Amino acid sequence: MTPNPAESVPKIRLRGVRKRFGSNVVLDGIDLDVATGESLVVIGGSGSGKSVLLKCILGLLRPDSGSIEIDGEETVGLSGRARDRVNAHIGMLFQGAALFDSLPVWENVAFGLIQGRRAGRAEARARALACLKQVGLRPSVAELYPAELSGGMQKRVGLARAIAAQPDIVFFDEPTTGLDPIMADVINDLIVATTRDLGATALSITHDMASATKIGDRIAMLYKGRLIWVGGAQEVFDSGNAHVDQFVRGRAEGPITDEADAG
């Protein structure tokens, strides 16, 4: 069988991506491929550059050098309508859900459809209700406001919004932060189910190893601006890398703390 050339092109490809703020080097030559339909999770401690990496891919920050391709198209330097065209295929679950307090739940979910795609309100509301059902929320929740929701419900609404436009790519920014272990596992299950149903490519950043191993096909660890390990999600606890081992097992002693203490 002759391979389809399109299938060999990564959904997301980074080459030599660098970003610094003053003398602080945050990303130091990142090379990374995310295959179509794959779920890749980037782990790392606070300040390791995870959020900056995500912002560079989204176009919120411009890298100092390097290439970021989505579907084979160079995206570094895109702006205006060209950037909007790329981002129209991307959904995002923000760390704190980032819901609009002044809008009811259904309008939060449908915000991108109404504002970006100019969908009619009736059509957008119907799509919002369908997405709320996908994440396990009743239709009555649609008329509530974010302040009336628990943290777990807010995350579900954020996930519903992320999938509302049926994106090709979904980004998850610390999806389980602030949730108790049971609700975190519920959100993990929903992430797996919704991205599978969409056939979407997923890129997540987290320091929650239970989440990383559940939602990821592969895991990459970012440390001091570099990817120091990339492998299968079930291989991460047997990586053979001392830095990775300390991080994933949550040990107080090891090379990460030794290097931090040494300055």
Question: What does each C-alpha distance from 124 to 21, 120, 198, 256 come to in angstroms?
Answer: 40, 6, 18, 48
| Domain shared by 71 and 156, yes or no | no
pLDDT for 141 beyond 50: yes
Q: In the chain, how many domains are there?
A: 2
Do 250 and 203 lie in one domain? The reply is yes
**Is position 5 within any domain?**
no
CATH number at residue 50: 3.40.50.300
Whether 172 and 258 map to the same domain: the answer is yes
**Domain limits for position 180:** 10-89+168-262
Same domain, 82 and 177: yes
Is pLDDT above 80 for 99? Answer: yes
Q: In terms of domains, do 154 and 121 share one?
A: yes
Instruction: Examine residue 192 and state whether it is found in any structural domain, yes or no.
Output: yes
- Tell me, yes or no, whether 154 lies in a domain: yes
In a domain, 3, yes or no: no
For 31-74, write each residue's pLDDT tens digit: 999 999 999 999 998 888 999 999 999 999 999 999 999 999 99
Residues 198 and 248 occupy one common structural domain: yes
pLDDT higher for 3 or 156? Answer: 156
* pLDDT-wise least confident of 15-19, 30-34, 117-121, 142-146: 117-121
Residue ending a domain, among 166, 187, 207, is 166
For 111-130, write each residue's pLDDT tens digit: 888 877 677 888 899 999 99
1 within a domain of the structure (yes/no): no
Same domain, 120 and 62: no
Measured between alpha carbons, how far is 49 from 16 in angstroms, rounded to an integer? 15
Residues 175 and 70 in one domain: yes
C-alpha–C-alpha distance, residues 159 and 181, integer Å: 18
Residues 75 and 183 in one domain: yes
Task: Record the pTM.
Answer: 0.90
Same domain assignment for residues 14 and 103 = no
Side chain identity at residue 35, one-letter code = A
Measured distance CA(160)–CA(92) in Å, rounded: 10
Tell me which residue has tokens 């411009």. Answer: 62
State the chain's mean pLDDT as an integer.
Answer: 91
As a whole number, mean pLDDT of residues 146-158 equals 92
Tell whether the model's pLDDT for residue 263 goes beyond 80: no
Same domain, 143 and 198: no
Q: What does the block give as tokens for 104?
A: 């009811």
pLDDT band at 209 (very low <50, low <70, confident <90, very high): very high
